[in-house]
Each structure stands twice: as C-alpha cells, then as structure tokens.
Amino acid sequence: MVREKKKIIIIGCGPGAESYITPAARAAAQRADVLIVSRRLRDLFPEVAAERIDSGTDIDGTIDTIAARRDEGRQVVVLATGDPGIASLAQPVIGRFGRESCEVIPGISSVQVAFARLALGWQDARIITAHSRDPEVSAADLREAEKIAILGGREGALRWIVELIPKFGDDRCVFLCEELTLPGERIREVCAGELTDVPVSSRAIVLIIKRELLP
C-alpha cells in the first residue's frame, strides 16, 4: 500500500524568547511525528512526543532524512529560528520538495525585533545574511540603501562588516543588536573599531541606518 505523503510543515520559532512564538506555530508543532531541529531549538516544545533529528550542518543529509520519514507517512515538522523566509532551512527544503508539498508558518524574525527596538519601519530595508560566508555584495551595491540589516554572529562576518562600515561615510549610524528578546538583550550604537574589540553574540544583528531617518 502506498502511504500518503503529508505536507512538510516549516515553522518560524521567533527570535529567541518563547513568548515570541506564535500560537499558530505552537499548534503546528503539536502535529509532528518528526521534528527537525537546530541546536538552539533542540529543547523547544518538550510536550511534543516526536522523534527529534538534529539538522546539523549537513543540509543534503537532513533533506534526505526528511524525504525518508515522509515516505513512511510521518508528519515532518521543520523548526526554523526567526522567520523561515530569512536564512533558514526552508529554502533548500522547498527547493527539493516543491512549495505544493510544504506548509510554511511564519514567525517573528530578529530583523523585525531589531527595527522595532529602534522604532523604525523595515519595509524598505536591505537584509543581508552573513551567517555562513561573506556576502557577495559591495559597499557600492549598498550605498543607495538607507537601512541595512546584516545577520552575522561569526568572526568572519564581523570582519566583513568592519571593512564595510567606513565606506559609507559619516551619515550612517551603526547599531549592534545582541540576544534580542532574551534576558541578555543589548542594543548599542557602535563604531567599526568597537566590533573588533568586544566579544559579540552569535545572535548578533548589525543595523546600518542613515542618520537622518532616526527619530
């Protein structure tokens, strides 16, 4: 008998604090037979009696595992930090299985939180991820952007940001946002040099904002 293949559910789990997980995300997690989790999300939803599989760094291997569990007729749920639309496993999963085979539950992203903390809209922001490697973008490409959010959190990303900032001139403010929504949350205005002199959280976001836009 051919088992029915259920849609893969991809859940955005918010920026960190459990209070930022949406009711829709919580409800979807309860349906899981299999949870695909990252290190940060391993202990989330302890009440869900599902098999937990660490996504790790082997994306292709993780997707093969998802396919195998789905072929067994099991409900696979993928947990993503923040919102699945930004720097998550959602893109390769949807690329492999197709959007008709996936259900995406949006979440609150750290980018949203960072701009909210500064009381700024972000509909016109340029969002760049530098989680795994330096972005293939230059200061010239970004010069017209009045709001830039860079998702970093690794030493190489910070070096790239430090080299980028001086190329904008004096009309930009730089904010280092760390541990957003968590007890250690900290947001501070910095200069490029400070990013090389202080330890920075792996949950860091750097905002580069045109000075005249700040309230």
List, for residues 88-123, the tens digit of each pLDDT value: 899 999 999 999 999 999 999 999 999 999 999 999
Task: Kindly provide the b/e burial profile for residues 111-133, where b requires at least 16 CB atoms within 10 angstroms of the residue's own CB.
Answer: bbbbbeebebebeebbbbbbeee
What domains sit in the chain, N to C, each tagged with a CATH number?
Answer: 8-108 (3.40.1010.10), 111-213 (3.30.950.10)
Give the model's pLDDT for residue 153: 63
Q: 1-5, 35-39, 209-213: which has the minimum mean pLDDT?
A: 1-5
CA atoms within 13 A on the CB side of 9: 21
Q: Are 116 and 142 in contact (CB under 8 A)?
A: no
pLDDT-based confidence at 76, cuts 50/70/90? Answer: very high
pLDDT-based confidence at 148, cuts 50/70/90? Answer: very high
In a 3-state reduction of DSSP, which class is residue 192? helix
Count of beta carbons in the 10 Å neighbourhood of residue 42: 12
Count of beta carbons in the 10 Å neighbourhood of residue 103: 15
pLDDT at 155 over 70: no
Rounded to an integer, what is the distance from CA 160 to the centroid of its chain?
19
Task: Kindly provide the b/e burial profile for residues 149-177, where b requires at least 16 CB atoms within 10 angstroms of the residue's own CB.
Answer: bbbbbbeebbebbbebbeebeeebbbbbb
Question: Which two three-digit tokens encode residue 198?
Answer: 């202080």
In a 3-state reduction of DSSP, which class is residue 171? coil
Closest CA to 117 of 9, 3, 209: 209
pLDDT at 215 over 80: no
Q: Please, which residues bridge with residue 207 across strands? A: 149, 175
Give the model's pLDDT for residue 123: 95
Portion of the chain with pLDDT greater than 70, in percent = 91
In whole angstroms, give the CA distance from residue 19 to residue 12.
13
In whole angstroms, give the CA distance from residue 34 to residue 70.
9
